Amino acid sequence: MYEFEFKPFEEMTPEDYATVGFMSGLEVHQQLLTKSKLFCRCPAGRYSHEYHAEILRHMRPTLSELGEYDGTALMEFKTKKNIVYRVNKETVCTYEMDDTPPFMMDDEALDTALEISMLAGLTLVDEVHIARKQYLDGSIPTGFQRTAICGIHGSVPYGDRKISMIQLGIEEDSCREISDVGHLRIYNTDRLGMPLIELVTGPDMRTPKEVAEVAQILRKMMRTTGRVRRGIGATRADTNVSVTGGTRIEIKGVPKIGMMPLLTYNEAQRQWNLLRLREELKRRGITEETFSSSSVDITRILKRSRFTPIADAMKQGHVAAAVKLSGWAELLRWQTQDNTVFSREISDRVRVIACLSVLPNIIHSDSMSETLSGAEWKETKVALGCTPDDTIVIVWGAAGDVDTAVKEIVIRAKEATVGIPSETRQALRDGTTGFERILPGPQRMYPDTDLPPIRVVPERLARLRERMPVQYWDRMRRYHEWKVPEDAIEGLALSPLSTLFDEAVTEMGFGVTDAAVILWRYPRRLHRDGIRTEVLPVDGLRSILNAVREGKMTKDGVFSAMRRALKHGFDVEALPPRLERKDLASFIEKAKQQVRYAKLHDEKNIPNLTLDRVMDEVRGRIPGADVAAEVAAHFAKEVLK
């Protein structure tokens, strides 16, 4: 059944993906727009690489609530990392550093999480229970992430199908990794503790393109609340991929939706090719039961090696070891992803688990590149008792790390006889994935004893339902019907001002185009002018629209009123009274006085300049056409005189 061979990315058809049984689901992480972090009073959303202190910690695995150690937990403990946190005094307090228990969950954040749960059609829970999800990589100083489920079992329309939503969780964001070399991992803590939601879909996407499209839909849906953060890193997604006979593999932290198709393609390809490798091994008679390997210390053989990485290691008094994989000849060159072969699977494990992070960290006898001398290979082969059917993997480094590496090489090779190991993988820039860690199971969850459960009372939900936006896809359909200008449709439907737009059109009597200009074009113009429009005051804008409707100001005064309102707020009472044409005479006289002192190229410009000056004074108090007519009439009279 594994005859199918992956074609280049561009040539793969939906039928090809159906052949390999491509399945993919998403875990979309979205930061929420709140003033404070989720469990402390630190300001949210302030990022800086500046730091004022460093704290060193280690992580040890603990038992879950149901009494079992988790696989990832044990792996991370094997790596024995020194973890250093960089602390900026403006963005981090003693809570993030795990020296103070949590404060109650931020209400603003929970409101938004519940609101988005409702948008995703989820059944809400009645009591939010905060759990601790273990992370022994150190990305959170407590060693766990505080996280809680708000709702389960929903769906979102996609074409003529529905994509199922498994759950929505609210959680604190983790640290940003600065570096991870050998036994030292350094984290920046500015992002730590930021409120985040995680929306998890079912494995319903059938092609890489669908993955990206659904990710876009979810991102946009969350945006319509106006209560989520935007910008780099504010929305991240983990992507789960599997093929027939494969394993659910999680690709962590894909920063751009545009990368998803290639990443999921490569991951599907990797799984498929690993299954094909298993078939090849089986053909050679290598199964989990018959798998055989041996290892030997070859420090003595390589003592005077000229291969630079090993020569450097020897200078530092390090050791080298060789592992024989019986019957594996040529298989370390087995293609897994684009431009990637099986030896990378081994190298990745050695890097992460044995902390041998300087590459290359292994060499092997299937490789064509120049490494050891012929004599060194020969001696190693003799030491291991190799036949031409076998493959040799060589690793070097500090003695303890090499011990771990040898074990890990054997573990990874043996796993190939079984299938695809459960793990999380990193998204790499070239569109391939690399090993990150063993996939953690539900065993890593246990209740947070520091915080009581939070009741979600019906009154709260009623209030949130009230403010919940209409689904943007419904809105877009309506805007098409209303003939909203084409370029404004999606932007308006996603804008937090869309509810006000609907209100302006259906209740306040504004024309569709006028409303679109005021609530779509104007905010964009303000934004281009460098005015912060992220948090446009909806109530202020509503009172501007009302003032226009009630005739207290004219349409052409709206833009400047908005600009003022963003800086000083909007006060209907402070609006100057409306003007009639007859009131304009004094303004015209004043303007003419000013223009008289201006240096002019051409006297003919006087009427236009006068009109500009008058408009500056009276904009919004009388329609511009009336002013133009009055000014024109004034100059016409003057000529007659």
Partner 1 sequence: MSDKETYKGYKGAALAAMKKFGIRVWSDAVLTTEEDSFEGIVLPRSETADGDHIVIKMATGYNVGLRCDRILDAKEIGYKEAHYKIPEKAFPYDPKKERVVLFGTGGTIASRLDYRTGAVIPAFTPGELYGSVPELADICNLETEKLFGVFSENMGPEQYIILAERIGEEIRKGVRGIVVGHGTDTMHHTAAALSYMVQDSPVPIVMVGSQRSSDRPSSDAALNLIHSVKTAADCDIAEVMVCMFGPTSDEYGLLHRGTRVRKMHSSYRSTFRTIGDIPLAMVNREGYTYLRDDYKKRRNDREVKVSAVFDDRIGILYYYPNMKADMMDMMIDNGYKGIIIAGTGLGHVNKPLYPALQRAKDAGVAVYMTVQTLWGYVQMYVYETGREMMDLGVIPLENMLPEAAYIKLGWALGQTDDLEKLREIMLTPINGETTPREPYNGYLIFQGGIPEVDEFVGTIRR
Chain residues in the site for partner 1 (CB under 8 A) = 51-67, 73, 84, 89, 94, 97-101, 123, 125-129, 131-136, 141-144, 147-149, 152-153, 166-167, 169, 441-447, 449, 452-453, 455
Residue 67 vs 577, nearer CB to partner 1: 67
State how far the Cα of 605 lies from the Cα of 611, in Å rounded to an integer: 10
CB of 16 to partner 1, least distance (A): 32
- Among 195, 192, 194, 196, CA closest to 97: 192
- Among 92, 174, 178, 99, CA closest to 140: 174
Produce one character per residue of 328-352: b if its CB has 16 or more CB atoms within 10 Å, e if not: bbebbebbbbbebbbbbbbbbbbbb
**CA of residue 543 relative to chain centroid, distance:** 36
Produce one character per residue of 284-316: b if its CB has 16 or more CB atoms within 10 Å, e if not: eebeeeebebebbebbebbeebebebbeebbee
Identity of the residue numbered 296: V
Residue 100 vs 179, nearer CB to partner 1: 100
CB of 434 to partner 1, least distance (A): 24
CB of 323 to partner 1, least distance (A): 27
Q: CB atoms < 10 A from the CB of 578, how many?
A: 14
Residue 97 vs 512, nearer CB to partner 1: 97
What the block records as the tokens of 492 is 């308006």
Q: Are the C-beta atoms of 260 and 215 separated by less than 8 Å?
A: yes
Residue 58 vs 282, nearer CB to partner 1: 58
Query: How deeply is 598 buried, as exposed, middle or buried, from its count of CB atoms within 10 A (0-12, 13-18, 19+)?
Result: exposed
Residue 343 vs 443, nearer CB to partner 1: 443
CB of 410 to partner 1, least distance (A): 24
State how far the Cα of 469 lies from the Cα of 499, in Å rounded to an integer: 7
Residue with tokens 């100057």: 576
Q: Are the C-beta atoms of 339 and 432 separated by less than 8 Å?
A: yes
State how far the Cα of 399 lies from the Cα of 404, in Å rounded to an integer: 9
Residue 202 vs 485, nearer CB to partner 1: 202
Q: Are the C-beta atoms of 305 and 311 separated by less than 8 Å?
A: yes
Residue 135 vs 435, nearer CB to partner 1: 135
Residue 348 vs 436, nearer CB to partner 1: 436
Instruction: Specify the 3-state DSSP secondary structure of 512.
Output: helix
Residue 21 vs 441, nearer CB to partner 1: 441
CB of 161 to partner 1, least distance (A): 20
State how far the Cα of 393 lies from the Cα of 378, in Å rounded to an integer: 14
Residue 446 vs 482, nearer CB to partner 1: 446
Residue 101 vs 385, nearer CB to partner 1: 101
Integer-rounded Cα radius of gyration of the chain? 33
Residue 152 vs 609, nearer CB to partner 1: 152
State how far the Cα of 624 lies from the Cα of 590, in Å rounded to an integer: 18
CB of 27 to partner 1, least distance (A): 11
- Among 70, 203, 227, CA closest to 136: 70
CB of 47 to partner 1, least distance (A): 19
CB of 87 to partner 1, least distance (A): 9
State how far the Cα of 580 lies from the Cα of 534, in Å rounded to an integer: 37
CB of 141 to partner 1, least distance (A): 6
CB of 399 to partner 1, least distance (A): 18
CB of 126 to partner 1, least distance (A): 4
CB of 116 to partner 1, least distance (A): 17
State how far the Cα of 270 lies from the Cα of 281, in Å rounded to an integer: 16
State how far the Cα of 211 lies from the Cα of 263, in Å rounded to an integer: 10
